[in-house]
Amino acid sequence: QVQLVESGGGSVQAGGSLRLSCAASGSTSTIHIMAWFRQAPGKEREAVAALYTVRGAIYYADFVKGRFTISQDNAKNTHLQMISLKPEDTAMYYCAAKLGEPRFGNWYDAYVYNDWGQGTQVTVSS
């Protein structure tokens, strides 16, 4: 099990930037995927980006390609750099960790992930 704590959320105007961070503790050596999801009020949680720590693959949702970048300092710190933010990016952002090699599902499936953070709010005004 890992514990995840997000930070870096805030309020910005459209076109602005934010950098979210996710600090992991616990059994971090067992993490195979780190991902970011988001959930806006009244909407379902949706996948934003994922980084496969073992094979090095990175995936993005179509709606953030070219604007968001997922990266990792080490096994314990994962970041989401967001530029050119839009009002529709307003949501609670969560980081999630998959422990062990994934044997089913896809990076964008929430059920793949074992542990979740509490979330950090991002608000983009027009």
The tens digit of pLDDT for each residue in 35-65 reads: 999 999 999 999 999 999 988 899 999 999 8
**Cα gap 1→32, rounded to integer Å:** 12
- H or E element in which residue 18 lies: strand 18-26
Q: What is the pLDDT of residue 55?
A: 87
Report phi then psi at 111, rounded to 5. Answer: -70, -15
Residue 104 in tokens: 């089913």
- Torsion of Cα atoms, 78 then 7 then 110 then 73, to 10°: 0
**Cα gap 73→19, rounded to integer Å:** 13
81: pLDDT confidence band, cut at 50, 70 and 90?
Answer: very high
Least confident among 10-24, 32-46, 64-78? 64-78
